[in-house]
Structure 1
C-alpha cells in the first residue's frame, strides 16, 4: 500500500495500514514543544517586559496558546484513545471525567491563590490598580456573586482563561474522537462548520464581566480537533508524506507572517491587501480564531512533524531535556507559571519596569518552572519505583506458594 493511499484511507475512513498498529513510544517532540509553549505563556503573561517583545506572537500570526491547544488534542488522543477502543466509551468517559475534575479544581485553586496574591500586593503597596490589571475587581467588589460565577466558569479574570477552555474541550473529547475514528476528514468538516456558524451567529460562552470567553470554545475546538486527528494518525501508524511542495508552502506562509508582523503598512504594495495587513499587524483575532492563526499553527505543526527528530531525538541536548521535563508536567507548571506571572507583574511595576528587575523576574521564573518540572519528574520516579518494590515481595510470595 502506497503512502498516499494509506493517508487517503485514513482521512476518509479512519483506517491505518493493514496489519497490527505500531507500538507507540513516547515522542519527545510533544513534551519539548509543550514545555517551550508553557515558558512562552509565562513570559507573555507579564506584559511590558522586554523579553516579551521577542516572543513568537511578534513574528507570526499564532502564539504559544495555539500550539498548546493543538498538542492538548494530540496528548488526549494518545492518553485516552486506546482506552476507549479497548474498554469502551463508558470507561474512557469516566477516566476523562476524573481528569476534567482535576483541571477544574486546579483552575479554582489558581483563581483563589491569584486573588490572595493581588490582595496582599494591594495591602502592602496601597496601590488599588493591581486589582484592575487582571480584571479581578469583581471578586473584591461582590465576593459572593463573583465566587459563584467563578465556580460556574462564568467569570474568568485575565490570564485565567486557558484552563476553562481545556476543560470544555476535554469534556468534548469522546464525541470528537468517535467522529474522527469514523472519518477524520468528515469530523474536520463538521468542526469547521461549527466554527463558522458560531462566527456568523455570534455564539460564545458567557463571561459575566466581559463580552464572552476570551478563548471561544466554538472556535478553538477546531485546533483541538486537528490535534486529535494528528494523534489518531500517530496511533494508526500514518507517516507524514514527503511533499517538498507542501514544505515550501509552509515555509513561505511563515515568511509572509514574519514580514506582515514586522513591517509597517503593506510591504507588498498590493492595494487590495491594505486592510488585511493592517488587521494582522494589530493582531490576529484570538478569541474567535482568525484563519491566519489556524494556518500559521498548521504550517508550524507540519514542519515540526516533517523535520524535527521523532522519538527521543530532541533529548540529546540539555535544552531539550529541560523543556521536556516542563512539558511532561504541563498542568502543574501552567498553574505555577500563572501565579508566578502575576507576582512578576507586581514586582516589575513596583520597580518601575527597570531592565534589571525585568530580566531577573523572567530568569527566576523560568528557573523555578524548570526546577518544578525536574522535581516532579524525580518525585514521580521514586514513587513509581517504590510502588514496584512494594509489589515485588507479594509476587515472590505468590510464586513460593505455588
Structure 2
C-alpha cells in the first residue's frame, strides 16, 4: 500500500491503493490461468511449445507471487502498525474473509462437476474422478478440506493461512523478530522433513497437500510483516526516478534466470526448488520477480497508466473473485481442448481467449461494485 504520511494541513491523509501491487497481482493471475490450462494440455501430451510465461524461464510460478502480495496486503490493509488494530478486530475480518473463500471454493467445486462428468480425461486429470467414482459420500472429503481437485488446492492453503494469521499477528505485535524466527524455523523444519505436511490433498502420490501450509506460511507471513511496516512504500520513495535502484533486482533476476536455464544447458539440477515445500531457490526467484517488476513500475510511473497495465490492475484489484473465475475458465478451456479441438493452435487460442474473458469479468465486476446501491 502506498500513501503519503501527512496532508498539507498536517492531518492524516487517506491512503490510496498502490497500483503496482494490483498490476503485479493481475499479471500473476493471468499467468496462473495460462499455467492451469497448460497443466491440462501437457498431461494430454500436447505437441508444441507452451504459451510463454515467466514460469518457462524461472524457478518459481505465479503462485508464489500471489501469496507474497496477498500476505503483504493483509498486513498493510488490516494490521498496519500506525493503526495498530485490536487482535480481535483483525481476527474477525480475516475469519470473515476465510469463510467467504470457503463458500467460493465450494461453489467453484460444484460448478465444475458437469464438465468433469462429460469428459473422462478431464475428470482424471483434475482428480474429479475420485469424487465421481466414490459417489456423494466423498463430497465430505472435500468439505473437510481432505481432498481437493486440481487448481483448487491453492485456495485451501490460502484459507489455512488466512485462518491462522491472527496467531502470527499476536507474535508480530509482541516481538517482530521472534515472530519471523518462528516462521522461518517452521518453514525450515517442514522443508527438511517431507512427511511434515497435511494428509490429503490430491488423491495420488503421497496423499499430502500440494502446497504445504507449514512451508508456504513463510512467504505469506513474511510478506504480512512487511505490509504491517509498509516496506514497499519505503522502497517506492527511494526507487522512484532513481535508476540505481534497478541494478540489484536486475542482477538478481538475471542471475537466477541464467542459473535456471543452465540446468538444461549443462545437464544438472539446482537443489532446494521444491514447489510443495517452496524451496529457498523458489522463494528467491519469486522475490526477484516482484522486486524487478515493481521497481520498473516505480522507476517509470507512467507505465502504470498504460492500458495493458490498467487492465492488469483491474484483474488484480479483486483477486479472490478473479482467481475463482480463472479456475473456471481454465477448466472450460481444458474441456474444449480435450473434447473438441486438441491441437497446438487451439491451445494458444484458448489461452488468449481465457485471458480476455478474465479481463472482461474483472471490468464487469468493478463496474458492478461501483454502481451497486450502498449498504
Which TM-score band (shorter chain)? 0.7 to 0.9
The equivalent residue for 1:101 is 99
The equivalent residue for 2:290 is 301
Which of 38, 41, 59 is matched with 2:32 structurally?
41
Further displaced range: 178-187 or 315-324: 178-187
> Is 1:216 aligned to 2:207, yes or no?
no
| In 2, Cα distance between equivalents of 1:236 and 1:369 | 27
The equivalent residue for 1:62 is 60
| In 1, Cα distance between equivalents of 2:200 and 2:218 | 21
| 1:16-165 superposed matches below 5 A | 23-47=14-38, 48=42, 52-82=50-80, 85=83, 87-119=85-117, 121-122=118-119, 128-165=120-157
Further displaced range: 52-61 or 85-94: 85-94
Q: Which runs of 5+ in 1 are unaligned?
A: 1-15, 123-127, 268-273, 389-402
Further displaced range: 255-264 or 219-228: 255-264
Residue 364 (structure 1) shift? 1.7
| In 2, Cα distance between equivalents of 1:104 and 1:254 | 35
| In 2, Cα distance between equivalents of 1:323 and 1:292 | 27
| In 2, Cα distance between equivalents of 1:228 and 1:260 | 29
Further displaced range: 129-138 or 355-364: 355-364
Q: Which has the larger radius of gyration?
A: 1
| In 2, Cα distance between equivalents of 1:115 and 1:131 | 9
1:22–1:52 Cα change, 3 Å:
farther
| In 1, Cα distance between equivalents of 2:232 and 2:352 | 41
TM-score for both structures, normalised by structure 1 = 0.79
Residue 305 (structure 1) shift? 4.5
Q: Which runs of 5+ in 2 are unaligned?
A: none
Deviations 1:309-366 (A, max 9, x none): 2897554110111111111121111111111111111211234532332222122211
Deviations 1:186-221 (A, max 9, x none): 322211100111233421111162421100000000
TM-score for both structures, normalised by structure 2 = 0.84
The equivalent residue for 1:363 is 352
Residue 236 (structure 1) shift? 10
| In 1, Cα distance between equivalents of 2:232 and 2:330 | 39
| In 2, Cα distance between equivalents of 1:232 and 1:310 | 24
Further displaced range: 105-114 or 201-210: 201-210
The equivalent residue for 2:223 is 227
> Is 1:255 aligned to 2:254, yes or no?
yes
Is the 8 Å Cα contact of residues 51 and 359 (structure 1) preserved in structure 2?
no
Further displaced range: 75-84 or 327-336: 75-84
Further displaced range: 334-343 or 258-267: 258-267
| In 1, Cα distance between equivalents of 2:231 and 2:249 | 24
Which of 164, 167, 190 is matched with 1:172 structurally?
164
Is the 8 Å Cα contact of residues 215 and 278 (structure 2) preserved in structure 1?
yes
Is the 8 Å Cα contact of residues 297 and 304 (structure 2) preserved in structure 1?
no
Which of 374, 379, 382 is matched with 2:368 structurally?
379
Residue 247 (structure 1) shift? 5.5
| In 1, Cα distance between equivalents of 2:284 and 2:231 | 24
Residue 232 (structure 1) shift? 1.6
CA-based RMSD: 3.1
